[in-house]
Amino acid sequence: MTETMFMMAEHARECAEEIKRYDEIQLVSHIDADGITSAAIIAKSLERAGIGYEMLFVKQLDENIVKELADDAPDLVIFTDLGSGQLEHVKNYGLNAIVCDHHRPQGENRFHLNPHLFGANGSYEISGSGTTFILATQLGNNRDLADLAIVGCVGDMQYRKHGKLVSLNRMILEANPDVISAKTDISLFGKQTRPVYKMLQYSSDPFIPGLTGNEDACIDFLSGTGLQFSNDERWRRWIDLCDQEKMKITSSLLQYCMQNGMSSYNMGRLVAEGYILQGEKEGTEMRDATEYSTLLNATGRYMKAEIGMQVCMGDRDKAYEEARELLNNHRRNLVEGLNFVKENGITELSHVQYFDAGKAIPETIVGIVAGMSHFSAGNRKLPIIAFADKEDGHKVSARGTQELINRGLNLAEALSIVCRELGGAGGGHDIAAGATVPFGKKEEFIRKLNSTIAAQLTGV
């Protein structure tokens, strides 16, 4: 991988030389955590280089947006965490562009920084933010932005395949220990900000039989460890515990899971590598890469990605408070979405399960609801597909598990195949993917998707 990193850095240097020719640049990025951190990395780098920029966040890059950009005739556009799938449109509309992305390329562009072009896999070896970080290092002394690169790849779930960051992501992590470090610990979400019982209650991946979704059972479990968890009427967080207490809970949890039939694979995932931002205050979302990425995703889901970007750029006052409010609102919406799924049920076919939210769940969060429902109300042996209405068709969000991936599931490939047959567009990653399907094609889509995934899982 050292050679791959060297080759990417060499091409990034050529891109950086092109960037330095301009005084004002149009930036375009995706609205998820990987896109927001990518935007912050390139924006911070341009600021330090004395180059002006305009920022545009988009939910999805398509021909219409490329055309609108071309109509504005910017001197240079830098696409981050998107663009590789729209290279033909970029070329056809004559955009002078640098594309810094990690999704599979379709077409060619002279200034195109993408790991797939250098033999690396953008699903787990490096993210959009990591790729943008490589570009940033060639624009100036920007190695302190490595923490944002790691937050972005964690938000993109790049650790899922191996249970930790590997390859180019690992190189970025280990080369910058002063800003970001790895620590093996319990893998449940919320170590910085949630009471310990809430960490257990909301654990969805892995799902903990008897504890996930059951607050009383979680409190009883913790009481059974003999540890005191409430102090001065404030429930203690994971970071409030000493190492001995953490070890006792982890050991008790593993024993509990073994007694309650959890698979050895999922038990192994209860302890994993986490990533700590050294310069951030303990007890805040920004201290832990997983919580940070969740905060950023919340801003993007509600079309406020610029607020997330401001947090990444260092705003710990107004932008941070607005981001936290969006996160709280996001959690309320997720609860309502989960309740909808529980009340209306999930339909099972032979190789997929699905639900149709219509207009009841915003299409920007239906994928998260699908992922959570997979573990709380669905069959974890089948991938889950969610439909939600949007202006131009049905939004499709698909979620799998690492166990299904190990058996051959590739949701991005499956959605892409079916969309080519029926119209619409689909893509993403093997474990999480999305698509837009024309109205009136939903039943045919799910039937064909079931057949396609059946072929993947059975090898036929």
Among candidate residues 294, 355, 350, 367, the one with its CA nearest the CA of residue 324: 294
Write the burial class of residue 261 (CB in 10 Å: 0-12 exposed, 13-18 middle, 19+ buried): exposed
The model's confidence at residue 17, banded by pLDDT at 50, 70 and 90, is: very high
Q: What pLDDT was estimated at residue 249?
A: 95
Q: Residue range 235-243: average pLDDT?
A: 92
Is the distance from CB of 191 to CB of 274 less than 8 angstroms? yes
Q: How far is CA 163 from CA 124, 184, 220, 270, 284, in A?
A: 11, 11, 29, 10, 24
Token pair in block for residue 97: 């562009």
Task: Give 181's Cβ-side CA count (13 Å radius).
Answer: 8
pLDDT in tens, 248-282: 999 999 999 999 988 888 888 899 999 999 999 99
pLDDT in tens, 364-408: 889 989 988 886 777 888 999 999 999 889 999 999 988 899 899
pLDDT in tens, 137-190: 999 999 999 999 999 999 998 998 888 999 999 999 999 999 999 999 999 999
pLDDT at 229 over 80: no
Tell me how far apart the alpha carbons of residues 373 and 4 are, in angstroms, rounded to a whole number: 39
pLDDT at 353 over 90: yes
Write the burial class of residue 281 (CB in 10 Å: 0-12 exposed, 13-18 middle, 19+ buried): exposed
pLDDT in tens, 111-146: 999 999 999 999 999 999 999 999 999 999 999 999
Q: What pLDDT was estimated at residue 195?
A: 93
Task: Return the SS3 of 238.
Answer: helix
